[in-house]
Amino acid sequence: MQTKNGPKKVSGGQADHYPETWESVRGKLQSGPEKPTRGEVIDKYNDTLGRWICKRCNEGHKFEGKAGVMMTPANDNAGGGAQSR
């Protein structure tokens, strides 16, 4: 990954909520007639993890809710290249 101090090797990634963002899923849970239990929220959170994305891209929410975008450190060297899958 390219940083202000030059290239940096990045390993690993994070699971991303897709196709719905966690914010939209959470809103649906909270708007129901009954408040969900903690276990139900955790299950729904884990069930909506739909793709693997590099940590930097996930934390920046740059590709949140965008169809077909998969990021890896290898294709994000310029800070914005997306690979469609």
Q: How confident is the model over 42-84, as pLDDT tens digits?
A: 898 888 887 888 787 788 877 777 776 555 555 554 444 444 3
Is 29's pLDDT higher than 50?
yes
d(CA 54, CA 41): 24
- Residue 39: the pLDDT is 92
In residues, how long is the chain? 85
Q: Which residues, other chains included, contact 40 with Cβ-Cβ below 8 Å and sequence gap of 6+?
A: 29
